[in-house]
Structure 1
Amino acid sequence: METFNQLIQSGSPVLVDFYADWCGPCKAMAPVVKEVADAVRGKARVVKVNIDKNQAAAQQFQVQAVPTFILFKNGKVLWRHPGMIDKTSLVGIIEKNS
């Protein structure tokens, strides 16, 4: 299994959804994140990271609110957004950076 740092080194975009099980907005975003993953399949990866189980990754990228979405490519942060966001915006950002 690849590590988080290996995952974000990918040459294609990787959208990371930093979330927590206790977070209401995160639960509301879950179906949207799944739809985005389906929409960008083959162009990008969408990964969910539980901040309570992966505190090191959350601290490394200074995630202070959940959900926080960060788009990586080749290990670099291309875009980040704390809070809820709609599917169209997420897909657009991923496609713009593909």
Structure 2
Amino acid sequence: MEKFEELIQSEKPVLVDFFATWCGPCKAMHPVLEELKGQIGEAARIVKIDVDQHEELAAKYRIQAVPTFIIFKKGEAVWRHSGVIKGSELKTVIEQNS
């Protein structure tokens, strides 16, 4: 797997889903993200980060609640949201940052 820092340097937006396996709302977001992936195709990448397996990343990006979504572009966090969100809203934000 690519290193996280390399991954978020992309010209295309990278939507990172910081989640936990025990988190109900995270599970609810899974089909939403799958559908979104189908809609956006190559326009952006969607990456899932398990906060329990990647505690250092969770700490670095101050993840207080899961799910937390951050869109990175060229290494910069350009948007952030904690909690469940509609796929249509995520799609709009990705398009605004494409």
Same fold (TM over 0.5): yes
How many residue pairs match? The answer is 98
SS in 2 for 1:42: helix
Provide the TM-score with structure 2 as the length reference: 0.97
Counterpart of 1:7 in structure 2 is: 7
Other-structure match for 2:28: 28
Answer 1 or 2: which has greater helix percent: 2
Partners of 2:90 and 2:60 in 1: how far apart? 22
Quote how far apart the aligned CAs of 1:34 are.
1.0
Structure 2 distance, partners of 1:37, 1:16, is 12
Aligned partners of 1:55, 1:86: CA distance in 2, in Å? Answer: 26
Query: Which aligned segments of 4 or more residues in structure 1 are displaced greater than 3 angstroms?
Result: none
2-side partners of 1:39 and 1:94: how far apart? Answer: 11
What runs of 5+ residues in structure 2 fail to find an aligned partner?
A: none
Q: After superposition, give the CA deviation of every residue in 1:15-53 in whole Å (9 maximum; x if it has no partner).
A: 000000000000011100111112111110001100001
> Which residue in 2 is equivalent to 1:61?
61
Please state whether the residue corresponding to 2:41 is helix, strand or coil. coil
Normalised by the length of structure 1, the TM-score is 0.97
**Root-mean-square deviation (Å):** 0.6
